[in-house]
């Protein structure tokens, strides 16, 4: 029998009703990190845990950026800034993104926000509303459905097939367009699969956006971590600048996840709207972090090239060590910092595999089901950990699979 409710509890039950928003931002996406949270709790308790469940680079932020931020702090650069970002950083980002996209971008097209996740959220709220449909390739990053739901829009998934290397076919996107379609949300280089967008596919997506008057939101946070091929962005193609939003950050490329520095590149009018949203949501970003990044973004930092080559080496390490394990099928990524592994040959579902692997071998991986049905039966592992630890984790995974086979 439960304890009787206090007067305070009864009052809260009667008056504390929530907005329907809480339903739209919950669900599987919000629960996806449960195995990672458990792994972190076990590690904090002293257990021998290797976490391969989150893409947080194990590198330090390049020293010149750190020293620049410290100097700005000591100089008293700790006050309010312009809501859409400082002029210096917006100019630096404009130059940086111009180099990535191959088209001229002005600072009036840039809004600085607290990381790519915040930038994506701001763009979605300024573009989409109730009744809108937004097409998203699936598997999709676990926050996308909630971000679109927060705007009132509906995510329409377009499956990416594992047997096609998780590459997108614009014909599948075209088949998903309806009279309610308002936009397409892309994420290439892709998380969780590491697939690239081909130039033909980029042209096909751009054609659809122009034909149906759609917005394109392009999450390109892994565009500097390409190992084979090249990053192709539909946003750089003719007629796309006025209908595109690029979302990017330095979290992955510069090992600055905790700095929370991201941005949008969008038409100037939309950028003003995003700045207004930042005013009522953030009231601007930290001044000293912006100043530090403005000084060094786009400049030659040897650490960045070293990071990329290390990620390539680690990717190859994982693929080499796990490729021959019976019951596993490894998808070699073209970019990013994750490897997708099909575990259905072990007889376990991805969620069961992830929890049992943590329990038996102290290795945490993320079940692919959280990214959508096309990733069911797969797990995502990061190679953003030191080589020796990564090799040990692979050996533990192989041993775990072998034990399943014997059992």
Contact of 85 with 122, CB cutoff 8 Å: no
* pLDDT tens per residue, range 341-385: 999 999 999 999 999 999 999 999 999 999 999 999 999 999 999
Are the C-beta atoms of residues 36 and 54 closer than 8 Å to each other? Answer: yes
Average pLDDT over residues 227-240: 94
Name 344's bridge partners: none
Q: How far apart are CA 337 and CA 222, in angstroms?
A: 8
pLDDT at position 29: 62
Q: Is pLDDT of 14 > 60?
A: no
Is the pLDDT confidence value at 402 over 90? yes
Task: Give the pLDDT band (50/70/90) at residue 30.
Answer: low
At 172-205, the pLDDT tens digits run 999 999 999 999 999 999 999 999 999 999 999 9
User: Predicted confidence band at 7 (pLDDT cuts at 50, 70, 90)?
Assistant: very low
Question: CA 52 from chain center: how many Å?
Answer: 15
Strand order, beta sheet including 378-382: 329-331, 338-342, 378-382, 366-367
Q: Could you give the residue range(s) of every CATH 3.40.640.10 domain in the chain?
A: 64-296
pLDDT above 50: residue 207: yes
348 and 404 Cβ atoms separated by less than 8 Å: yes
State the pLDDT at residue 8.
44
Q: Cis peptide leading into 189, omega within 30 of 0?
A: yes
The pLDDT-based confidence of 1 (bands split at 50, 70, 90) is: very low
Q: Mean pLDDT in the chain?
A: 93
Measure the CA dihedral 170/172/174/175, to 10°: 170
pTM for the model: 0.92
Cα distance between residue 372 and residue 29, in whole Å: 10
Which CATH class name applies to 64-296? alpha beta
pLDDT of residue 24: 86
Mean pLDDT, residues 88-98: 97
Interhelix angle 287-296/63-74, rounded to 10 degrees, is 140
pLDDT value of position 406: 79
pLDDT of residue 271: 98
Around 25, how many Cα atoms within 13 Å sit in the side-chain half-sphere?
A: 9
pLDDT(15) > 70: no
Condensed to tens digits (0 to 9), the pLDDT of residues 37-61 reads 999 999 999 999 999 999 999 999 9
Rounded Cα distance between 265 and 111, Å, is 7
Average pLDDT over residues 63-73: 98
Question: Positive or negative, the Cα torsion across 122, 247, 330, 387?
Answer: negative
- Model confidence at 2, in pLDDT bands (50, 70, 90)? very low
pLDDT of residue 11: 43
Residue 132: both structure tokens together: 């809108």
Statement: residue 12 has pLDDT above 80 = no
Where in the chain are all domains bearing CATH 3.90.1150.10?
A: 22-60+303-406
Please, which residues have CB within 8 angstroms of residue 332's CB and are 6 or more apart in sequence? 194, 315, 319, 339
Where residue 13 falls among pLDDT bands split at 50, 70, 90? very low
82 is written with which tokens? 């312009």
Residue pair 191/222 in contact (Cβ under 8 Å)? The answer is: yes
Tokens of 52: 């391969």
pLDDT tens digits for 295-314? Answer: 999 998 999 999 999 999 99
- The separation between CA 339 and the C-alpha centre of its own chain, rounded to angstroms, equals 14
139 prior amide bond cis, ω within 30: yes
Looking at domain 22-60+303-406, its CATH class is: alpha beta
Q: For residue 17, what pLDDT is reported?
A: 86
Q: What is the pLDDT of residues 244-288, one digit of tens each?
A: 999 999 999 999 999 999 999 999 999 999 999 999 999 999 999
């Amino acid at each position: 029998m439960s304890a009787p409710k206090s007067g305070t509890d009864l009052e809260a039950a009667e008056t504390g009703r929530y907005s329907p928003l809480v339903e739209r931002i919950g669900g599987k996406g919000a629960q996806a990190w449960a195995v990672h949270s458990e792994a972190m709790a076990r590690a904090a308790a002293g257990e021998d845990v290797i976490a391969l469940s989150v893409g947080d680079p194990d590198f330090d932020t390049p020293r010149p950026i750190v020293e620049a931020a410290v100097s700005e702090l000591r100089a008293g650069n700790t006050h309010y800034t312009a809501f859409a970002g400082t002029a210096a950083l917006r100019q630096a980002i404009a130059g940086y993104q111009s180099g990535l996209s191959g088209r001229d971008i002005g600072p009036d097209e840039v809004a600085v926000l607290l990381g790519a996740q915040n930038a994506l959220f701001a763009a979605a709220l300024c573009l989409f509303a109730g009744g809108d449909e937004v097409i998203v390739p699936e598997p999709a990053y676990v926050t996308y459905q909630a971000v679109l739901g927060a705007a009132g829009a509906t995510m329409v998934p377009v499956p990416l097939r594992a047997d096609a290397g998780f590459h997108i076919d614009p014909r599948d996107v075209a088949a998903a367009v309806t009279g309610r379609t308002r936009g397409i949300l892309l994420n290439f280089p892709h998380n969780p699969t590491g697939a690239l967008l081909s130039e033909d596919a980029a042209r096909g997506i751009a054609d659809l956006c122009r034909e149906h008057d759609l917005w394109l939101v392009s999450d390109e946070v892994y565009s500097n971590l390409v190992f084979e091929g090249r990053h192709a962005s539909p946003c750089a193609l003719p007629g796309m600048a006025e209908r595109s939003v690029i979302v990017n950050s330095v979290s992955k490329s510069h090992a600055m996840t905790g700095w929370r520095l991201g941005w949008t590149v969008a038409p100037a009018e939309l950028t003003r709207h995003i700045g207004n949203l930042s005013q009522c949501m953030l009231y601007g970003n930290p001044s000293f972090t912006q100043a530090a990044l403005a000084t060094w973004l786009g400049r030659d930092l040897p650490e960045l090239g070293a990071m990329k080559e290390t990620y390539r080496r680690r990717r190859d390490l994982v693929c080499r060590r796990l490729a021959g394990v019976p019951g596993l099928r490894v998808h070699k990524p073209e970019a990013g910092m994750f490897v997708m592994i099909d575990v259905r040959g072990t007889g376990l579902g991805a969620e069961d595999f992830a929890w049992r692997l943590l329990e038996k071998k102290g290795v945490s991986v993320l079940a692919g089901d959280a990214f959508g049905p096309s990733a069911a039966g797969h797990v995502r592992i990061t190679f953003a950990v030191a080589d020796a630890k990564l090799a040990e984790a692979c050996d533990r995974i192989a041993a775990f699979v072998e034990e399943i086979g014997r059992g």
